[in-house]
Amino acid sequence: MGKLAGLPIYGWDKIENLILAALVTGDSALFTGKHGIAKTYCAEELARALGVKYRKVDASKAEFEDYLGFPNPKALSEGRFEYIETPLSITDKEFVFIDEINRCRPSTQNKLLELVYERKFFGQDTNVTWLWAAMNTGDEYLATEKLDPAFLGRFA
């Protein structure tokens, strides 16, 4: 019986220690594999078990502003730079899961580098402790982007 036995996650015994290590260290984790192997479900169940604020972002549809919010025009007019959060913003979440990360535009990948590694956006702290992502692997998946090695290297 595995360490995740209390959760409804099955068939992940071989990578269970890696999952637990990412939970303990806060390292960003990247789940890869064919569709339907419960990558998203695993993240959702772990966040639920931890009892933390969780947000799943579909990278195939998300614009960068969806992660952070929109620049606040009033603050800009006063010489300050801050964002207005939207219902999709992740800065107040503790566990963020970016699904279909290889469908994320390269320009968005570049903007997410700091979040994946330091849990910050443009130098501003977030509440994100765990940032995990998933992608389907294989040549049969269309509309995917090659992940930049610097971006990919920030995941455990």
- One DSSP character per residue, the chain reads --TTTTSS--S-GGGHHHHHHHHHH---EEEEESTTS-HHHHHHHHHHHHT--EEEEETTT--HHHHH-EE-HHHHHTT---EE--TT--TT-SEEEEETGGGS-HHHHHHHHHHHHHSEETTEE-S-SEEEEEEE-STT--S--PPPHHHHTT--
Ordered mean pLDDT values, 10 residues apiece, the chain (156 residues): 75 89 95 90 95 95 86 93 88 95 87 92 90 86 79 88
Q: Does domain 26-152 have CATH number 2.40.30.110?
A: no
Q: Where are the domains of the chain?
A: 26-152
Task: Give the per-residue pLDDT at 93.
Answer: 96
- Could you tell me the pTM of the whole model? 0.89
Task: Give the per-residue pLDDT at 116.
Answer: 93
